[in-house]
Amino acid sequence: MPRVPLTSEVINPKRKGYDLALDDLLFRAAIGPNRQMTISTAEFPNQQVNLKANPEDITTNIGQIFSRSDFSGGQGLDSAHKRNNTDRDVTRFFDSQGVDVFHGDDETSYHVHLLYTTQDENVRGADTVFAGSNNYLAQLTNGHLYVTDQNKVYKSTDHGDTWAEVTDSSYTSLTINYNFTGIAAVGNQLYLTTADGTSNSELIKFNGTTWTEETTAQSSSGGLTGVWFAKGQLIISGDDGTVERVWAISPFNKTWSGSDLQDAQAVITFEDSHHVSQVVDAGAVVLVASTNGDIYSLKDVTGTMTLLGQTNIPFEEVHSIAASEGIVFFGTKEKSRDVGRFYKADLVVADNLYVLANRQLIKEWVISGQDTTPKHMFV
């Protein structure tokens, strides 16, 4: 019986007339003029797979593709997708509430991590809610939490489990008669603003031990409307009934007087039908968001906060903003409708001005009769 040559035994098999190799065996083909070679694959055996739909294509090791379409038992829905879903299909998926969907275990796909649970806390006592809507929260370096409600300040020293109104003698002696409009933590110190919207306003400081009234600047106007802390500066906003102003002042070793927070010292001004909604440290600059649709860029130039850039979001009000590693996120409300939107943008430099570019709409909420504005944002 003739022996079939092997690929390991023949060098340059094509020169010796071998036309094809099957595994390690060499063969000559009976081809020539008018006898062309035809290669075909044997028909794949029927495995009783439903080929009417192809929600999940499955490739075999011989090159054929088939699909499965029977998901009646619900199995495989974590990795397969189905076209033309029916009303019953939604019952085969599970709600991800309380489940961390971003940090799965790659090695064991059915292992999940649960998120921390949250619950409402009664700051003013059992079965009570805040008396006002001016509720601003700050956390000191030592972990103590402070929250405002109308003209009162509540404190928690156990990470928010229990709350009580501040009872320090220096706090009660202030006799705060106006609602709080903002709060900012500076290490273990607090700065708070109050106003009645007409002719009374205060900047209050808690140095970790004592509460003091630092200044009543802008009291003859509409008052101070907010305070934030970023890049070693207090960012304070105020409204005199005609113009909304923003000041940047370093609080360190600061002796306050009536000459502070003067109109001419403001770094940003705009008409007072809008207000500053949120301030965030975006790395290179401090971003000040306003409901007039502008996002202002403040940069520390030799110790002085300077306006170096302004980005306008047309036909929208900016109500919240956050930033991380040069990426800026902000929430808006359409000026003419109750439509909330969530955007992502990049902080870039153009002609020595810091502006937001490459704006991308991430999410839009349109619910009739409901304000869907993203009001707060944290990263």
The full length of the chain comes to 379
pLDDT at 146: 97
- Tell me whether residue 44 is in a domain: no
Provide the pLDDT for residue 85: 62
Q: What is the pLDDT of residue 333?
A: 96
Q: Structural domain of residue 231, as residue ranges?
A: 174-366
pLDDT digits (tens, 9 = 90+) for 293-336: 999 999 999 989 999 999 999 999 999 999 998 899 999 999 98
183 Rama class: left (phi>0) / alpha (psi -120 to 50) / beta: beta
**Is 75 inside any structural domain?**
no
Q: Answer yes or no: is 208 within a domain.
A: yes
Q: Is residue 93 part of a domain?
A: no
Residue 78 has what pLDDT?
46
Considering the domain boundaries, does residue 279 fall inside one? Answer: yes
Residue 310 lies in a domain: yes
- With respect to residue 97, please indicate whether it lies within any of the assigned structural domains: no
* Tens of pLDDT, residues 76-122: 554 455 556 666 555 555 556 666 666 655 555 556 667 777 778 88
Closest CA to 136 of 175, 196, 193: 193
φ/ψ of residue 14, rounded to 5? -65, -35
Amino acid type, 81: H
What pLDDT score does 86 carry? Answer: 64
Residue 48 is predicted with a pLDDT of 53
CATH number of the CATH domain containing 207: 2.130.10.10
Is residue 345 situated within a structural domain?
yes
Please indicate whether residue 135 or residue 109 has the higher confidence score (pLDDT). Answer: 135
pLDDT, tens digit (0-9, with 9 covering 90-100), for 284-304: 999 999 999 999 999 999 989
pLDDT tens figures, 143-201: 999 999 999 999 999 989 899 999 999 999 988 889 999 999 999 999 999 998 777 88
Kindly report the pTM of this predicted structure. Answer: 0.71
Q: Could you tell me the two tokens for 274?
A: 């809008």
User: What is the tally of structural domains in the chain?
Assistant: 2
